[in-house]
Amino acid sequence: MFQYIYVEDAIREHPQTQETLLKYPRATVVPCQRYGEIFNRKGQNFRLQKKSASLILAEKHGKTVLPTPPDYGIGGKNNYYFSHMLNCVFDCRYCFLQGMYQSAHMVHFVNHESFKEGIINTCTEHTGEDVYFFSGYDCDSLAMNPITGFLEDFLPFFAENPRAILELRSKSVYIRQLLKHEAFPNCVVAFTLSPDSIQKQFEAKTPSLDKRLEAIEKLQKHGWKIGLRFDPLIFCQNYENIYRDFFENVFSRVDLNSVHSMTMGTFRLPKGNFAKMKQLYPDEKLFAGPLEKKGSTVSYEENLEKSLLSFCHNEIAQYTSTEKLFMYPELNS
């Protein structure tokens, strides 16, 4: 899969590095001092690199756990994220990562132990309270697991720390490792779900809706708590029919007893990311409108945004209580 693997000198002998290199005996290994030399180099062609991205094995320095933006949550008070990876194997056109980095190469920070330390320290700062940790913020938590060994390492760790609640957010159906592990209550396996037509048009390289629902069915039988992430909702012709059929399909297959939480949000991007993404894909209809700038964000025109959100909210309400549904933006905002 990778023709080139860049390896920082400092972690060349790290067991996680050794394990990864063994998986790719044919890759050319290129030593480097710091991953930024390759990842942050100016003038890289993101679109071209995305077609055959390289892997970079690096060490995460400094803070490993950071607070999430205020609207990012699933009902908890203390919300943090950690990124053991940067970038993603999938290629969703609406993904903010495209406007975030100079490079499409994938970075894996192999020093998992530093992330664990950051998680323990953060829990200590919130004595006696639950703390939520989101692992799928700058990557897809499950998709790269065969390379990162993330689940093998972090599932036992979180199982032993019940106050630390892990959210794995993914579009991947790579669930073998989860089915091998006993389910535990402080882990939410969250899937981003979109109607078929939206998936085909805007979520390149991702598994179909049907495959994701199949994965959910297996996981819920195995006892895992499930998160449903309807984000981003995309405005399209005939969106009422498209989303009505979609929710009917989803709620006919998901066992509501295993649902931990649902989130829903309309398509939106930070202004800077939006400008970069529009430059990358000037003919992309998604970026052509009907959008407007609101503060530091670009999103759908206000009335349209409210119609789309309230339509989807009402559809969901036909199947389940919306107590566990967290929305961006709030309907009354």
Using CB under 6 A, list all residues that contact ligand SF4. 88, 90-92, 95, 97, 139-140, 171
Closest to ligand SF4 by CB, 17 or 170: 170
Assign 3-state DSSP to the chain and report helix, strand, coil percentages, each to 5: 40, 25, 40
Closest to ligand SF4 by CB, 14 or 268: 268
Closest to ligand SF4 by CB, 92 or 164: 92
Shortest distance (Å) from residue 91 CB to ligand SF4: 6
Q: How far is CA 125 from CA 112, 131, 154, in A?
A: 20, 10, 20
Shortest distance (Å) from residue 148 CB to ligand SF4: 14
Closest to ligand SF4 by CB, 46 or 90: 90
- C-alpha 171/C-alpha 152 separation (Å) is 19
Shortest distance (Å) from residue 257 CB to ligand SF4: 27
Q: Supply 180's token pair.
A: 């091998």
Shortest distance (Å) from residue 140 CB to ligand SF4: 4
Which residues, at least 6 apart from 62, have a Cβ–Cβ distance to it below 8 Å? none
- C-alpha 82/C-alpha 65 separation (Å) is 5
- C-alpha 140/C-alpha 209 separation (Å) is 16
Q: Which residues pair with 80 in a beta bridge?
A: 67, 133
Shortest distance (Å) from residue 171 CB to ligand SF4: 4
Shortest distance (Å) from residue 194 CB to ligand SF4: 10
Shortest distance (Å) from residue 101 CB to ligand SF4: 12
- C-alpha 197/C-alpha 228 separation (Å) is 18
Closest by Cα among 162, 249, 260 to 210: 249
Q: How far is CA 147 from CA 29, 36, 55, in A?
A: 15, 21, 10
Specify the amino acid at residue 228: L
Closest to ligand SF4 by CB, 32 or 236: 236
Q: Which residues pair with 293 in a beta bridge?
A: 298
Closest to ligand SF4 by CB, 92 or 123: 92
Half-sphere exposure of 228 toward its Cβ, with a 13 Å CA cutoff?
26
Closest to ligand SF4 by CB, 91 or 196: 91
**DSSP assignment string, 253-288:** HS-GGGEEEEEEEE-EEEHHHHHHHHHH-TT-GGGT
Closest to ligand SF4 by CB, 7 or 195: 195
* Rama region for 298: left / alpha / beta (φ>0; ψ in -120 to 50; rest): beta
Shortest distance (Å) from residue 264 CB to ligand SF4: 15
Shortest distance (Å) from residue 192 CB to ligand SF4: 7
Closest to ligand SF4 by CB, 85 or 262: 85
**CA end-to-end span of the chain, whole Å?**
46
